[in-house]
Structure 1
Amino acid sequence: MKLRIYLMALLLSGAAFTGCGDDVTRNAPFDNKVYIDAASKTETMPLKNSFRETTRTIRAAVPKPAGQDVNLEFRVDPSLAATYNSAYYDNAEPLGEEFYELLDGKALLNQGTVQSSEVTVSFRNLNLLDRDKVYVLPVTIAAADGISVLQSASTHYYVFKGVPSISVVADMEKKNYVSIPTFLDEKPSAAVCNDLEQFTLEALIRVRKFDPGIQTVMGIEGNFLLRISDNGLKPNQLQYVTPYGNISNDACLLPTDKWIHIAATYDMNAKEVKLYIDGALVGEQGNLNYTEPANFGKPAGFQKQKFYIGFSYEPGRELDGEMSEFRIWNVVRT
């Protein structure tokens, strides 16, 4: 089994506003601009046979109450697929008209409010799309009467991509684990995984059973490590061990005999670590007192341990189950 190292950059942009008292906002040095009201600029949906149709709603917002009624128009702009690809280093093609319908596209932002009415996007026949490709549908604010549009947050991207089928896995059990030879020998090629100011670890796991005691997913003991259980934790409780404190709670309980996607991130400059299960944020720590670059390609952490998949510190901590799709990224993925 080999560990695939992916290098990519993720360009994120956005805008945030906070409302202040009336005496401040009247003299604020910026206009009250309208933007798409969404937590993220993108939403990714899976392409699979069972996923044929769905609907999504979209609306606009302003940072402070509108001074008048504002009529808005949302449109699909396929040309913005190129903008998405440039920003997210992807190779998506515009979603064809036969796979979606933007219902009406008109919305109203009433005077004195900060959110508009919703517009519905309906998707259909998604099971007919090629799962080896990536598709994107850019929906943008095309018109807003009497108010400026914040261009950096004027478009939302609906992204469709195939779900990888799991055909090759590592069947783990006692005394069975994976080491990375270049990491063990500190080869020059391992340097790509050292001095990381940001990283994301991710993997798919399916555990057969949870017995009392630690089961290891991957990482370095005493440094950055994903493992299941520990003193005081339940046998099926996922834990993200970091030099800045450990993350685990009741949202980290894992099922048996089911494929689960787990991911952990570190951002040295933002001073935060996060843990995800099946794409949902289950724990985080911010405002870390100190941070420094992370290393996986050379010994680190407790007694200069090394990076393993399915093992840490001593025998008896191997994972009892199957693993696949291990990745180390040198960026923080959403």
Structure 2
Amino acid sequence: MKLKNISFISLTLLSGVFATNCTDDIENFSNKIFMTDSDPSTVLIKPTSVEESHEFTLSIPKPEGQDVTFTIAADASLVSAYENIYYTSGMEMLPADNYELSTTTGIIPAGSLNSDPIEIKFKGLDTIDDTKTYVLPVTVTSCSIDILASNKTQYYVVRKGALIDVVPDITKNAIYTDAWATPEKFKLNKLTAEALIYPTVFGDGHESGISTLMGTESGFLLRFGDAGVEPNILQIATKAGNFAVSRAVNLNTWTHVAVTYDSEAKEIYVYFNGVEIDHFTGVDAGTVDWSPEHSNDNDGKPRSFWVGHSYNDNRWFEGRISEVRVWDKVLTKDEINTENHFYVLEEPENEENLILYWKLCDNQTNDVKDYSQYGNNGVFQKEATWVEVSLPATNE
């Protein structure tokens, strides 16, 4: 018993010594300012990007009794430091015309651990030379307390990006609009419907083996599969009958799908990746009406336009999607095959015949922005799931 008691007393005393030493260390270490997040940030140069804003803060490990003041600056001499740290070369300092700091001074208020966010605006990205990779080092140049030298610089890397770097997976999800901003535009005698798709499953568990791409049930609908139709075959379901495409779409592969319809010529063209797959004639489907307000397709209201849904929730599209567009004209094969057409439209607001452009690679929220001039925004039916990609690229 005595030995046990002596051991217990000894451990207690040692614990007290260690605790005292730790407390002394915490109270006595030098308080130094540092960049809250010093990992390099990337700014991508894209045809559709003109400006982009980032924010950063500065921090200290323990609060001070008075305001901590500091200054910051962009420092071209640190480009070489970045190259040494990250084992790279050939970087250039970002030109002064292409960035703007909201301030070059700041404070961490007394009793606080963090500064207010400081904004850095990257601008003129659409005019910058995208054959080069730039670095913008933003560093702490002075402070009323010590500076942590190893963590005083935030590096921004500005480089050419993929045209598409994130997309939604809409498996068991869908996209719709509550009400068109321009419903009159969606009564169509001529149309082109486009989408960039990456299906991961066709038919499995889907009602009637149907996977819906876009359109209106019992009107004009692009869907895969049906009774008597293989689940990987695109079918255009119209009031004049259903038209099954002669070639399958592959799973786990990016495919650009374009379908055109002309009510006067009574014909449909189907293109996969810019290649004409089928030409259907004698399609007497009349005017395509995608104008009705949103409905769930079975609430007694006129059925409405969806992406990834038709009739009910059991006919979803399983996979990823981007670049959904609707035109009130028939695009030619040459127009569909213009450079990078599958992945981006430059200056879409100037395209009078483009009545809907859901990029689906931009804001990573549940709100879907229309990049046409008409403001026909959409929304996801459920919380959106986003997947990082790099397009154009070799098929995944």
Q: TM-score, normalised by structure 1?
A: 0.45
Tell which has more relative contact order, 1 or 2 (C-alpha 8 A, sep 6+). Answer: 1
Structure index of larger Rg: 2
Q: Tell me the TM-score normalised to structure 2 length.
A: 0.39
